[in-house]
Amino acid sequence: MQRLIVLDTETTGLSPENGDRIVELGCVELLGRKLSGNNLHLYFNPERDSHEEALRVHGLTTEFLSDKPKFAEKAQEILAYLQGATLVIHNAPFDVGFLNKELSLLGLQPVTHYVHEVIDSLAMAKEQFPGRRNSLDALCDRLGVDNSGRILHGALLDAELLADVYIYMTRGQHALLGDGTEDDSGENAQPATNRANALSSSALAIDLSSISLPTILPSAEELAAHEAILADLDKASKQQTVWRRQM
C-alpha cells in the first residue's frame, strides 16, 4: 500500500543558506488515500530569532521556542518516520531546501536519499489550473476545503489542509485507475473494484428486462454548461483533448 506523507514546515525566514532554520514540522500520513492518524508534529528551537515577516506568518516567538528541542535531537526520529514514503509538499523546493540544510549540518544525506519520491502539489496545481492563483488558501476555496481555522500558518494544520487538497486534485485519476476513490462528501470510499463487484452482484438479483426507461434530453442551458466545461478542459490541456482532435 502506498504511503504518502503530506509535509509542511515553518521557518525563521526564507533563506537556509543565510542561516534561517526550521521552527516547526508537520506531517500527515495517508495510507491508501485515507488519513491514518499517524502524524508527526514538532517544534524546534532554531537558536535564532525569526524575521519579522516570518513571525507575522506563523506567530512562533523566540520565547515560545526557547525550550523546544533542536532539530539535531529529532533528526533520526524524523528520518525514520519519512523512510520510504512519498512526500507531498506545496512548493516543495522551499521545504526540501530547508530540510536538506538541516540534514547537511548534521552530516546526513539530503531528504530525497531517505524517501521514495517528492511530489510538488504547487506544480501539480499550476498544471491543472493554469493562470490561476494556486496558493493553499486559493486551492482550499476552489476545491471546497474548509480552511476557516487558518488564521496563522501552522505546519500541522497546513499539512492537514494540503492532504484534503491533494486528495481532491487526484480524485479523477484514481477513479479512472480503479485503485480507490472518494464519495461526493469527500470521505474515502471503498475501492472501485469492490464497488463494481457489489453492483454486479446486485444486478444479478434484479430482472430489469421489463422496465422501459424514458429518454430525457438535456435542455439548451444544460448543453451550454456542458460545452463550457469541455472548453475549460480543452484550454487547461492546451487544446490536446481527444474529443477536439477527432471532431
Total count of residues recorded for the chain = 247
Report the distance separating Cα 109 and Cα 79, nearest Å.
10
Report angle CA 213, 189, 84 to the nearest 5 degrees: 145
The DSSP code sequence of 169-208 is HTHHHHHHHTS--B-TTS-B---HHHHHHHHHHHHHTS--
Phi-psi region of 200 (alpha: psi -120 to 50; beta: other; left: phi over 0): alpha
The catalytically annotated residue of 41, 153, 174, 226 is: 153
At residue 4, what are phi and psi to the nearest 5 degrees?
Answer: -105, 135
Report the distance separating Cα 139 and Cα 128, nearest Å.
11
Report the distance separating Cα 169 and Cα 134, nearest Å.
12
Whether 153 sits among the annotated catalytic residues: the reply is yes
For the annotated catalytic residues, the residue numbers are: 153
